[in-house]
Structure 1
Amino acid sequence: MNFIHAYRINILGLLMGVLFGFLMSRAGATTFDFHAKMFLFEDFQLMKVIGTAVVIAIVGVFIMKKLHINAIATGTEVDFVKKPYQQGLIAGAFLFGVGWAMTAACPGTIPAMIAEGKIGAVFSLIGLLLGTFAYGILQSFIANNGSYKAALK
């Protein structure tokens, strides 16, 4: 892959990300009040947006599997490999939900919230980065049979 091709792919990714962030903002996914009302079952707008996204994703994955679509960046066929169940998925999902409810943000909405000038999203981003860092250290610690020195290399 040459430099021009990689550059073009990055620009395409940036434009898709900006479009995604704009659409999330317009749908209310970057607004605390919509999240609070959703979790309190007072307003279902955000649930409808999420449900619509899930249905579109299901249809899109079905079509991509049927038509054997190739990836734009690599040109190779898109592959959907089912991941095996891992210990800790339930606890991780619970922690993700608690963080989402507390911050009204998920990893996808944080950049859009920052772009809107919502300073609180910076703290969510810091928490996300620290949590990812802690997860990496913990996984390394477990993989190295509890050796702190090897985990922190």
Structure 2
Amino acid sequence: MSRTPKRGGLLFNLLIVAGGLLFGFGLGFSHMAQPEVVLHFLQFEDFGLLFVMGGAAVVTGTTFAVATRWSRRAPLTGKAYARRLKSLDRNVLVGGAVFGVGWGLSGICPGAAYASLGIGNFPILFAIGGMFAGAYAQGLWRKYGTGQPTASTGTD
């Protein structure tokens, strides 16, 4: 009998919710859910975001380094660890540029936008609505404009 929670099972979903709560609490606690803080970082006035992102990168990197040596399979899904390589192409560059402009204009990235709701920043709903509309428009463009499938593939 496998001790790995089934994807979509209760334990799996509870662990995902716990991870999201921890992430959101961390964003709120570090004040990174406030667009003003992000905008001050982008204007080179406050470098706190750099330390928060650096700390997160160190924790994540260490966790993945240890996890891949400890086990060959992901604990939640049971799938084998594998590198997912994406070539640096036009779509990556354009998508990154559009994301960066949106981040700069709104002062918030998608994860922090949801955490921002938790600290009472309800006008951020306009930015969240824009993210959904942009993702939907990109899906339509990809489906009808280029003839490519919209679902993620192993090469995405």
Are 2:138 and 1:130 equivalent residues in the alignment? no
Answer with 105-114 or 72-81: which moved more: 72-81
Q: Distance in 2 between matches of 1:144 and 1:96?
A: 23
CA drift of 1:95 comes to 1.2
Deviates more, 1:88-97 or 1:71-80: 71-80
**Runs of 4+, deviation exceeding 6 Å:** none
TM-score (norm 2): 0.81
Give the helix-richer structure, 1 or 2. Answer: 1
- The alpha-carbon distance between structure 1 residues 141 and 28, as it changes in their structure 2 partners (threshold 3 A), is same
Shift of 1:49: 0.6
Match for residue 45 of structure 1? 48
* Structure 2 Cα separation of the partners of residues 124 and 141 of structure 1: 25
> Which residue identity does 2:139 align to in structure 1?
G
Query: How far 1:54 sits from its partner (Å)?
Result: 1.8
Identity across the alignment (%): 25
**CA contact under 8 A between 1:70 and 1:77: conserved in structure 2?**
yes
Query: What is the TM-score of this pair, normalised by structure 1?
Result: 0.82
Instruction: Kindly provide the amino acid, as one letter, of the partner of residue 68 in structure 2.
Output: K
Higher relative contact order (CA 8 A, sep 6+): 2
Contact 1:100–1:106 (8 Å) recurs in 2 = yes
Give 1:2 shift: 9.3
Could you say if the C-alpha distance between residues 2 and 72 of structure 1 is closer, same or farther in structure 2, counting changes exceeding 3 Å?
closer
Give the RMSD, CA atoms, in angstroms. 2.4
Q: Please list every run of 5 or more consecutive structure 2 residues that lacks an aligned counterpart in the other structure.
A: 149-156
**Closer, same or farther: CA 115–68 of 1 in aligned 2, 3 Å:** same
The SS at the match of 2:78 is coil
Q: Pick from 106, 114, 119 the counterpart of residue 116 of structure 1.
A: 119
Does the CA contact (< 8 Å) of 1:64 and 1:78 recur in 2? no
Whether contact under 8 Å (2:73, 2:81) holds in the other structure is yes
